[in-house]
Amino acid sequence: MRALILSAALAATTLAGCAGMSARDQRIASGAVIGGVVGSAVTGSGTGAAVGAIAGGLLGAEVDNRRDDRRYDDARRRYDECRRYYSRRECDNRRY
């Protein structure tokens, strides 16, 4: 019972500590944590955890970059669609 309470308190503290982070930082941190756990489980050593954390952090950063690229492409597509039917002034004032 004591271990369960300690685990719950540790999880709550960890989640509260991530509240002020940006979405990008949260993705990178969660990738690093997941990579570290998987690396440790697979190799059973600290070196595997470190390599997994680095790989997970890089993967989290790449996911964030691709998400930004998709947002830009989507906004650009919607702007081009607007320009097919409306003037530039009308489309520039819209929010994409």
The pLDDT of residue 14: 67
Q: Is 1 exposed, middle or buried (0-12, 13-18, 19+ CB in 10 A)?
A: exposed
Who's near 15: CB < 8 A, 6+ residues apart?
Answer: none
Q: Is 17's pLDDT higher than 80?
A: no
- CA 1 to chain CA centroid, nearest Å: 34
> Domain-by-domain residue ranges, the chain?
34-96
Q: Give the pLDDT confidence of 24-63 residue by residue, as tens digits.
A: 788 788 888 888 888 888 888 778 888 888 888 888 888 8
Task: Give dist(CA 75, CA 70) in Å, integer.
Answer: 9
Give the CA diameter of the chain: 67
Query: pLDDT by residue (tens digit) across 60-91?
Result: 888 888 888 888 888 889 999 999 888 888 88
**Mean pLDDT of all residues belonging to the chain:** 81
Is the predicted pLDDT of residue 96 greater than 70, yes or no?
no
pLDDT for the residue numbered 15: 66
> For tokens 């790449």, what's the residue?
62
Confidence (pTM): 0.52
